[in-house]
Structure 1
Amino acid sequence: MSEEKKLHINTRELIAVLLTLKSFANEVRGKHIKVFCDNTTTVNYISDMGGTKSVACNNVSSDIWNWCLNNDAWITCSYIPGSDNTLADTASRNFNDRHEWKLDENFFKKLSIIFGTPNIDLFASRLNKQEPQFCSWRPDPESNYCDAFNLNWATLGFIYIFPPFSLITRCLQKLRAEGARGWMIIPFWTSQPWMGALLRLLVEDPRIIMRRKKVLVWPLSTEEHPIMSHTRLMACLLSGKACENEAYLKKVLTLSWHHGNPELANNTDHISTGGHNFVIDGTSIPLLPL
């Protein structure tokens, strides 16, 4: 979080140990854990179960030992020279968390009122989670699950999906295959091949977020996602159960062609020229502004 960035490096080193323990709790619970660290302060505070020079370091070391007590574990920490700690050091220096973008919480709350409050955030981390219960991509100290594609989405209740854009097709396939229900955030890219599959999962009028600024930001700062300079985001309530999509399509208006205009030769999905409606199988689906 942004508050963590302001902490002293020694405190952050200790926090890294604590978060690692939490991330791999199932693997290390009930065991003796050996930690190697190139920060001597971290080694001393863990080995001595605290210290007096830094209140912040003492508090984190107490959290580490309390975690060990609660998980029937024991921890020892040894110093390793930075020159020998090349693997971990390289990983930390090359770490990139710029994929942790987050939808503005005000928009999330508005959409939760319209579509319903999700039980779980399927693509998140402790930095950008929208719900207390979430699934992370990699081991995360606060996540309930790891790797959303290893789960059966239908068993999770009402879900929130804001995946990396490259995974949209895979998410739609999983929704339909498992008959799951939830709402999804996607970019408003009408020419994408996954758009037709998405329209056939709709169970409510989709919403387009009209504002571009401060919609998608990096949680550790006020930096905005560069994609928002040339696109908008769309929110869709989806269900993998075909009967729910059919019931929704019966409620929306049927597209009426003006007299004299030839009927379309096929039923492929397309977008009307006005830009405010989708059209699928002759049915007009309104796109409502948010």
Structure 2
Amino acid sequence: MGIQNKTKEETHTLEISPRNLMEETLQPQPDTGMGGKTIRYLEAWKLVKGVEFIQKWFFLLFKSEDSEKRLQERLRICPFSGSKEEETAYTEKLEEELRENIIEQIHPEQAKWFNPTFIIPKPHQKWRKILDASALNKEIQTIHFKMNGTDQVRDLIRKGDWATSLDLKSAFHHLIVYPPHRPYLAFEAMGKVYQYRAMPFGTQHSPIFFAQALAMVLTKIRRESDIRILNYVDDLLLLHQNKERLREQTLTIMKILETFGWTIAQEKCEIEPKQQINFLGWTWDLKRMYIKMTDLRKQELRYQLKRLISLTEKQVPIKIKYLASIIGKLNFLRVQVREASLYLKLMDSAKTRALKNKEWRENMIPPKEILQELYWWHGVIVRNQEMTLEVRIPEAVMVSDASPKGWGVTLELQTGDTLVQHGEWNKEQKKWTSNKKEMEAIFLGLFRYGQVFKELQIKAILIRSDSSTAVQDLAKQRAGLTLVAEVKKIVRLCQQLRIQIQTQHIPGVQNKITDALSRLSTQGDYSVKKEIFIALCQAWQIIPTLDLFATGENKLVDRFVAIGEEEEGAEWLNAFSRPWKEEIFWIHPPIPKIGKALIAWERFKPKSIMIAPWWPGQIWFTSLLTDSSRYLILGESSLILNPGK
């Protein structure tokens, strides 16, 4: 699809109304419970060509013909057990699932597999019933499936957005289970045997079936609405720059979802537009573009850390699995605490050592050395310092190099001036590895130029180095044990100087040769056919002056920006490292970069043509249409694109 972006003066609004949709559907269906509810709304599903999918039901994809036989051989009852309080809560949940037609009672001999079930507490004195399908999942095919997350939210939000959120109640239970596979979803409780007739949460295929069903509806909404929507399982985030527009369309979208049989958890929804909203366990400040953990997550993590600190100080045995769960929860904070993995090394090492001769559920004595990391994390969580969501464009380029004898760093300013710093290694430093020397050179450069950054109010710099290890470790803020201290030192200095850093590898001669041979097959170097490019430029009477995402092999404009490593003839490297101004751009980003490209496109509003797939199911599709002044559907990709070599 070829798209031309809007100028700042151009606006248009797409309308979506449930009226026509609802007129085409059946009248409200009799309420026979939540279990498999969507199958009672087939007239609506016809509109998105989803009838066949809904009628096929949820089914299990076994690994082999022997999978069912192996399950039969290991069949044994796993009865529910718990405290008196848990038993009471479990019984209430069981009765609710029976009322809602989510489960059904069966004769014990009908069960083909028994799954353990238990109950866990939720906030506000509520409970959640859990089906442990881990053993069953071992006999089910693994399907790779990536859900939306914080990275996708970053790509979707715009500064000044208003947001609402919707929650689908017991969402997975809305799909019906293929009858012959229900006996594999059996469990025993209170002396009776039950099976799920509605899709449970717990099997590895459940999120995939649910996502596919919801995507059909969201694709229709994205085609017809200018509301940006992101879904994470059963949670939906809705975004728009206009508060009133979002309020109106949120109610409309809720009605549309209900028309397809989904149940809205009204008490969990945020239908009044806000510029600070909780989503995915984070508080998103859309006015200032900052993120921090929610108060609830902060409270829970602080409690868990204080407990682990106390147990470690007293050398009380803990389960290895418990330490692993704490590591996982802290690592999740990398969205806000980018250097997180640097402060998990000792804990991770202790866990690995314990697992050498023990199982996950066995006990270990937490070594006191992990206390330094635990204290650090406790301080981070208590402060809950906001992290900016804005990625600044570098205002200077720092090039570093290290040799066996010494180091050198240059700072290239936007004024055209270049500053130089250099020095020699002392006797001890000369013994360091080359990677450690490269890291030290970067640190010394940042330290020496710190005053320059403050005086010129430089907030972001690009660091270029011929050390791929240094570049990758700083970009990901991760490192092996030998370089952890160096990376920590650089990260702390950047925080003190209040600068953002981006990194870029400068390849040596050998790197250039081998990379040129491999890059074309790995970077998605497909390009629009020359005749299509010419026809599109003529039709829209626009002649691009710069190809923003290209290689020397596939560029369509003489002047281009290199997409991978540095190339001879390229204007610069990395389209996102400079403002998109003072040119007419040809923009054909790799698919993983489309979301980020749209952010820059909306921010700079350059005169340009963008090439992107017509893919309504993607979260960026609404932005693609609403930010464009006009578009053409060019045809099948196989007919308009040259494949990579």
> Which structure carries more helix by proportion?
2
Higher relative contact order (CA 8 A, sep 6+): 2
Interval containing the TM-score (normalised by the shorter chain): 0.3 to 0.5
Name the TM-score, length of structure 2 as normaliser: 0.19
